[in-house]
């Protein structure tokens, strides 16, 4: 109760037996106030403009009594008993200021703001579940190709490529769990896992009517419709830029393959013993400086670029999914990163491989890029 209230109560033991004064199941409240002549409310209803003393006949039970005058007030609860007279004095005071309540929390406004380089995010799908983990890759410039001169082949000429805008790249290859959900939602056949397990392993054998590259493109288009963000396969240049993460060595950690840093033939991982070769769960190894897993080995990854024998700017473009052109050697597409059955030279960051769009294999998967 916010008001200081001084109550003086005296129980008169004398019962008034006169039926004219009291009725059954009633009592009398004798009330005075300081200052006098206040308005008296009983249970919220105005009962009297009080002279120095007033007698109120009230039904037996609890009642809320309020006295108000000149912006002052007092409140009390009284218990009225049958045939009992209760005397109360109420001292009125100015009410204390109401406590200042904290402002209600503002509803957070969710906006698709640009995210910082290196930040990992997941877009929400229409049913509230989450899409694949994506990493923000900053804009920048790099030298593309066989910088170390390891192999004289289609990795020439070494040239400078500018990535004008930041973009997002899948933290790891698309997993079985992610692709299986897409297949379930779109009525597609779920690909074989070769008996190695599903869930957080990279999806392989992607096929619907034996079309692997097209299936990867279809997943990206479905994800775009689910999230409102533009998903796609990365260009070949974007893939190498993100995989290098600012380095110019054969692997992001140096020029030697080392031990247990990737899953390949000769990488020394637990998933690549001669009697036990299979894909590794995604992100089983350290990430590069951009925060990406598995850019070396495990499964080769589709890009959206068509294959050319030598670099001539096509590495920075996506081929139209419906286009078949001899300048792209027909239906050839670039795959990157090397696979679990490839030796160290084929999992170098600059190594290029190719596949026809309807190719599927236990060595082929993909990761996505997205517009920021």
Tokens (6 digits) for 301? 């990854």
When mean pLDDT is compared across 45-54, 106-115, 245-254, 321-330, the lowest value belongs to: 106-115
pLDDT at residue 359 greater than cutoff 80: no
Whole-number pLDDT of residue 323: 61
pLDDT at residue 216 greater than cutoff 80: yes
Contact 82, 58 (CB under 8 A): no
Q: Of all helices (H) and strands (E), which one includes residue 88?
A: strand 85-91
Tokens (6 digits) for 149? 């001169």
Whole-number pLDDT of residue 208: 37
Instruction: Give the count of beta carbons closer than 10 Å to the beta carbon of residue 242.
Output: 25
- Location of structure tokens 């805008």: 165
pLDDT at residue 119 greater than cutoff 60: yes
Distances (CA, A) of 10 to 18, 29, 58, 87, 335: 21, 11, 17, 5, 97
What sign for the dihedral angle of Cα 112, 113, 114, 120?
A: negative
Contact 33, 50 (CB under 8 A): yes
| pTM of this prediction exceeds 0.95 | no
Distances (CA, A) of 238 to 143, 163, 179: 12, 7, 22
Per-residue pLDDT tens digits for 13-63: 333 333 334 444 788 888 888 888 888 889 888 877 766 777 788 888 888
Tell me phi and psi for residue 176, to 5 degrees: -60, -40
When mean pLDDT is compared across 73-82, 306-315, 328-337, the lowest value belongs to: 328-337
Q: DSSP secondary-structure letter at 149?
A: -
- Whether cis (ω within 30° of 0) applies to the bond prior to 278 is no
pLDDT at residue 329 greater than cutoff 70: no
Q: How far apart are CA 57 and CA 282, in angstroms?
A: 83
Q: What is the mean pLDDT of the chain?
A: 83
Whole-number pLDDT of residue 275: 77
Helical segments of the chain, H only = 176-186, 212-227, 236-244
Q: How far apart are CA 299 and CA 305, in angstroms?
A: 18
pLDDT > 70 in the chain, percent: 81
Local confidence band at 356 (pLDDT 50, 70, 90 cut-offs): confident
Contact 68, 38 (CB under 8 A): yes
Output the CA angle 121-127-131, nearest 5 degrees.
25
pLDDT at residue 327 greater than cutoff 60: no
Whole-number pLDDT of residue 116: 85
Domains assigned to the chain: 10-91 (2.60.40.10), 120-371 (3.90.1580.10)
């Amino acid at each position: 109760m916010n008001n200081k209230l001084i109550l003086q109560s005296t129980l008169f033991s004398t019962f008034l037996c006169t039926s004219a004064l009291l009725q059954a199941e009633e009592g009398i409240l004798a009330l005075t106030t300081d200052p006098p002549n206040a308005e008296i409310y009983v249970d919220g209803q105005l009962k009297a403009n009080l002279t120095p003393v007033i007698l109120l006949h009230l039904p037996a039970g609890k009642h809320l009594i309020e006295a108000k005058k000149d912006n002052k007030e007092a409140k009390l609860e009284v218990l009225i008993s049958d045939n009992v007279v209760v005397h109360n004095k109420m001292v009125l005071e100015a009410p204390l200021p109401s406590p200042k309540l904290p402002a209600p929390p503002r509803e957070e406004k969710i906006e698709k703001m640009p995210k910082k380089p290196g930040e990992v995010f997941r877009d929400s799908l229409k049913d509230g579940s989450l899409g694949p983990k994506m990493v923000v890759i900053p804009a920048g410039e790099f030298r593309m190709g066989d910088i170390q001169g390891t192999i004289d082949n289609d990795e020439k000429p070494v040239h400078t490529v500018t990535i004008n805008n930041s973009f997002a790249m899948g933290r790891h290859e698309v997993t079985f769990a992610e692709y299986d959900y897409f297949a379930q939602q779109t009525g597609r056949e779920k690909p074989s896992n070769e008996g190695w397990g599903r869930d957080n392993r990279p999806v392989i054998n992607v096929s619907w009517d034996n079309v692997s590259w097209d299936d990867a493109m279809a997943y990206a288009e479905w994800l775009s419709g689910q999230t409102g963000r533009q998903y796609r396969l990365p260009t070949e240049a974007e893939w190498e830029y993100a995989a290098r993460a600012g380095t110019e060595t054969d692997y992001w950690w140096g020029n030697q393959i080392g031990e247990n840093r990737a899953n390949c033939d000769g990488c020394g991982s637990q998933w690549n013993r001669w009697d036990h070769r299979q894909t590794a769960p995604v992100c089983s190894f350290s990430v590069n400086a951009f925060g990406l897993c598995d850019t070396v080995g495990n499964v080769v990854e589709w890009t959206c670029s068509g294959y050319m024998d030598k670099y001539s700017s096509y590495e920075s473009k996506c081929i139209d999914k419906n286009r078949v052109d001899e300048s792209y050697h027909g239906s050839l597409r670039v795959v990157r990163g090397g696979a679990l059955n490839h030796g160290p030279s084929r999992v170098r960051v600059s190594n290029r491989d190719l596949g026809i769009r309807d190719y599927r294999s236990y060595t082929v998967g993909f990761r996505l890029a997205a517009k920021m």
